[in-house]
Each structure stands twice: as C-alpha cells, then as structure tokens.
Structure 1
Amino acid sequence: MNLPKVIGDLVKAQDNFDSTAYANCFTKTAMVFDEGKTHNGKVEIKNWIEEANKKYQVTMKPLEYSEAQETLKAEISGTFPGSPLTLTYHYEFKDELIESLEIV
C-alpha cells in the first residue's frame, strides 16, 4: 500500500509505542479528535497517545488508504474490549505533516 510518508511514520511510531515520534508527525497547531475528546498541539497529542499506549498497547495494520478522501482504514489490535477493530482515520495535511486527525 502506498501511504504518504507521514502516515507511514505515524503507523511505525504507533506500532513501536513511541509517543514522541507519533507527536512529531503533527504540526505545532494540530488537533486530534478521538473518543469524544479533542487534543490540541503536539504536547497534548503526545500525552494522549502515551496514555493510550500504556492503557491499550494498540498496534495498527493499514487496510486501505484514499488519497482523495484523505482517509486510512486500519485494523487496530490491543488490550481493549472488542480487539481487533477497524477504524477510519480522517486526516488533513499541512506542509507534509498532519494538521488534523479524526478517528471514528
């Protein structure tokens, strides 16, 4: 699957539970919306993913990427009820980094 470099980097950071590398995939003013909560800026995003990694140990398996819709469908597995799940990641990009991410 041909993913944008930043998405490939994000998946790798997630699979390695590397919250710093994960946050570095985002712009300084980025926003992430997940599980009804919004996380703004690199520091909040780093803290959010670090906590999620400790709690759920999620890994991602990309299934389908749409450049036109800027979406990635991925199977996530971890230590959470219902694992594995297929989620859709909606991205907006700026300067080859992620400006916004909504996970549904």
Structure 2
Amino acid sequence: MTIELPGAIAAYFSADKQGDTRAISDCFTQDAIVVDEGNTYTGRDAIRQWIANASTQYTYTAEPFALAEEGGRTIVTSHLVGNFPGSPVDLRYFFVLQDDKIAELEIVP
C-alpha cells in the first residue's frame, strides 16, 4: 500500500534510504529535537551525528505503511528490517512539522 507523506517526511525517508546523513539533517529545523532509544538529540549537527552512528552500526530498510494525525503530530508507522537486535520491527515515528521542516521527531516501537 502506498501512502502519501508530507514533503519533509517523504524527504526524510528518501534520504534515509539513500544513507545521506546531510540530506537527512537538512529535513530538520536548525533547533530540531529527535528522541530515539531513550536519547535526545538537539540541533542539526547532533541529528547528523545520530544518523551517522546508526548507519555505521546497522544496515536496515524502512518502509512506511501507515499515516495518522494526533495532537498536532504526524504519525508514520514503518516496517524496519536489518541487522539490528529485534529485527524486523514496526516503529512509529511521531513528527512535528514547522515551515516545511521537521521540528521534532520521536521514534518508538
């Protein structure tokens, strides 16, 4: 099933698929916040480093398959398959958008 993601979110998943850490970080506002695996990353430089670390530790593919809105957040559910513990897994990505950029992202199982 194909879903139509908002522009910044589509760009995020596209850049992630390509492994392009700079393009991923460019999807975010300058002071964006990412929360993943209990860690918080603030600002594009920290987000770029988070992605770079994740991509050196694991290889994976992410396939978004569901889209919802809740409390001002866009929720994308994605199927991840890779060489990480617990693979495969469906993760929920909670996005807050601001001016066609990602201002906040929280990733949870």
Give your verdict on TM over 0.5.
Answer: yes
TM superposition shift of 1:78? 1.6
Counting matched residue pairs gives 103
Secondary structure at the aligned position of 2:97 is classed as strand
Report matched runs for 1:19-98 at 5 Å. Answer: 19-66=21-68, 68-69=69-70, 70-98=74-102
In the TM superposition, residue 59 of structure 1 has moved relative to its aligned partner by: 1.9
Greater Cα offset, 85-94 or 50-59: 50-59
TM-score (norm 1): 0.95
Deviation of 1:58 (Å): 2.5
Alpha-carbon separation, structure 1, partners of 2:51 and 2:83:
15
Q: Is the 8 A contact 1:9 1:25 kept in 2?
A: yes
**Separation of aligned partners in 2, 1:100 and 1:18:** 19
Is the partner of 1:45 in helix, strand or coil?
Answer: helix
CA contact (8 A) 1:14 1:58 kept: no
TM-score calculated relative to the size of structure 2? 0.91
> What percent of counterpart residues are identical?
36
- Uncovered stretches (5+) of structure 1, i.e. residues with no partner: none
